[in-house]
Amino acid sequence: MSVFVTCAGETAETVYGLKNKHVQLDPKVTGTLRSITWKKQNDKLAEWSPEFEYDYYGRCLTAGRCDLSKTTGVLIMKELNPGDTGKYFAEINNQGIPKEFLLTVLGKLV
């Protein structure tokens, strides 16, 4: 089950996810996606381009922990843990300002 709540922010989209669940980070790509790179802070997590296909790094190296859509640019992060809290950036088609997300992983809700 996907769990996420978003709130409009000035620069970053705020996203909340539950520990041990998954969350979708959606950069809302318009037009043709030619490449996408996802980062947490300055560290790469996932990238796709037609020349190199998919590459995964960090938490996404573990099989099944991340899925990246080459058509929408959506990054699905699975099995969230508190260490996943932080700022994420989607660099789309190597152009412009990256789309920014602020992810907060919450413990069990009562």
Tokens encoding 79: 């099995």
Helix, strand or coil for residue 78?
A: coil
How do residues 56-103 score in pLDDT, each as one tens digit? 999 999 988 999 999 999 999 999 999 999 999 999 998 878 999 999
Residues 6+ apart with CB under 8 A from 102: 9, 12, 13, 14, 15, 86, 87, 88
pLDDT value at position 5? 45
Tokens encoding 109: 């809700």
Report angle CA 9, 94, 8 to the nearest 5 degrees: 10
Catalogue all structural domains in the chain, each as residue range(s) with its CATH number: 5-106 (2.60.40.10)
- Which pTM value belongs to this model? 0.86
Average pLDDT, the chain: 89
pLDDT value at position 7? 44
Place of tokens 């938490």: 59
